A = this chain, B = another copy of it.
Amino acid sequence: MRLADSFRSERFGAVRIHELQRVIELDSGALPDTGASGQSSGSRVVSANAIRAIESEMVVVVPCMNETRSVIEGVLSGIPHDCLIVLVSNSDRRPVDRFEIEVQTVEQFCRLTGRPAITVHQKDPGVAAAFKAAGLPELIGDDGLVRNGKGEAMLIGMALAALSGRSYVGYVDADNYVPGAVHEYCKAYAAGLHLAGSPYSMVRISWHSKPKLRDGRLFFSRRGRSSEVTNAFLNRAVAEYSGFGTEVIATGNAGEHALSLELGLRLRLAGGFAVEPYEYIDLFEQFGGVLESAHPDVVASSVPVLQIETRNPHFHDNKGDEHVQGMRMQALNVLYHSPVTLPAVRAAILEFMVAQGALEPGQEPPRERVYPPVGSLAFDLLYDALDAEATSFRRIGWAPAAPVPARWPGLGSAIPVSPAPAREPVAAAD
């Protein structure tokens, strides 16, 4: 894969956010494995071998909710062979058990391709029991099951990725009509993680365009409405520290992203649709140098965030306006309540939300749920409980290579077993 060079970046403590880089070639040919671009100035090649080395260490988590069999099959066909597939479903189980259909689809695909996969259902009581046993009772709702929400599905996926013993996790939504786009996302993850050159790295995708129906014809929209708002406020939050306006963040709502587990297991994931923008915010909170960090080793290193603009259109089902409005407000809620967000930005968020009719004057934005780091889990207990109690935990040609250790190697004791993240109550901006 050939990417445009990223010439500029913005620093927030140890976090280095790289300017958006375009994909120039999906396949850059049989070039020597130097990682360099040779004489072609302005671009950078990541060789097929370097990409494959990352893929064989990558888990691809597919959060799935009521997609059709053929769409799921297409998504699976686009995930490179060497990646381990983890399907986390929150699909209806009655009147038709859609999860069982999904599992059959995954099983059939794995049989044809001779590759492993793991599936799990978000509302399986055994899954709730396992996360409770492993030290994350916060994930469980009043009904005793794992809460609904995309962030929650991603958290489950990250925990299973950690169980697998691999080093990277990437996310690909199941509602994607273009297998080639899925394929490009995965290649871009691998290329970006290779280029990042840090054990604590993240790659976020900005899709090239999104086909939308407008007046009976197709229009290729460059940016989603939700993304524009989220990115503008995230950039403002950064600029408030540096004193320089910036547009560096282009992937605040990126559903498609990947990260090293060394980083991911330290992050606190937010619930629902707040999960994606909150990743930026938690990077700032934990590694931004503003608040005290539980990970001085990471702060002393570097946390690169690469942003890659893929070539394929992001072509999925239209979830409607409600979905967009919800995503936008959840992003602003988490930004508003972050201790790193300075008063001027908080005031601007309030003003915007009131103007949008999302908030009465004088009200505060609601708080979103934020979970302790997945790295705080006791993975041995998690695995044993899933194995014993979670009937939806299907291991298709996969088993842990060795007894699952309690702790992710390398995290050390930095992450306590059951930490409620210490968060100061945030006063409303004046």
Contact = CB atoms under 8 A, between A and B. Distances in A.
Interface stretch (A294-302, A308-316, A363-371): A308-316
A181 interface: yes
Contacts of A213: 213, 216-218
A38 B27 CA distance: 26
Contacts of A2: 81, 112-113
Contact of A27 (B43, B80, B216): B80
A77 interface: yes
Contacts of A81: 2, 25, 27-31
A42 B109 CA distance: 11
In the complex, the count of this chain's copies comes to: 2
Which among A42, A114, A213 has the greatest number of chain B C-beta atoms within 10 A?
Answer: A114
Nearest to A185: B180
A196 interface: no
Interface string A143-180: 00000000000000000000000000000000001111
A394 interface: no
Interface residues of A, number: 50
A377 interface: no
Interface string A15-30: 0000000011111111
Given A52-B30, A180-B180, A311-B180, A112 B80 contact: no
A204 interface: no
A339 interface: no
A311 B218 CA distance: 21
A177 B220 contact: yes
B178 A82 contact: no
A184 interface: yes
B313 A178 contact: yes
A311 B26 contact: no
Nearest to A80: B27
Contacts of A413: none
Nearest to A52: B30
A34 interface: no
Interface in A37-95: 38-40, 42-43, 48, 52, 55-56, 74, 77-78, 80-82
Contacts of A43: 112-113
B113 A25 contact: yes
A211 interface: yes
A111 interface: yes
A98 interface: no
Contacts of A177: 211, 220, 313
A87 B208 CA distance: 23
Contacts of A346: none
A30 B82 contact: yes
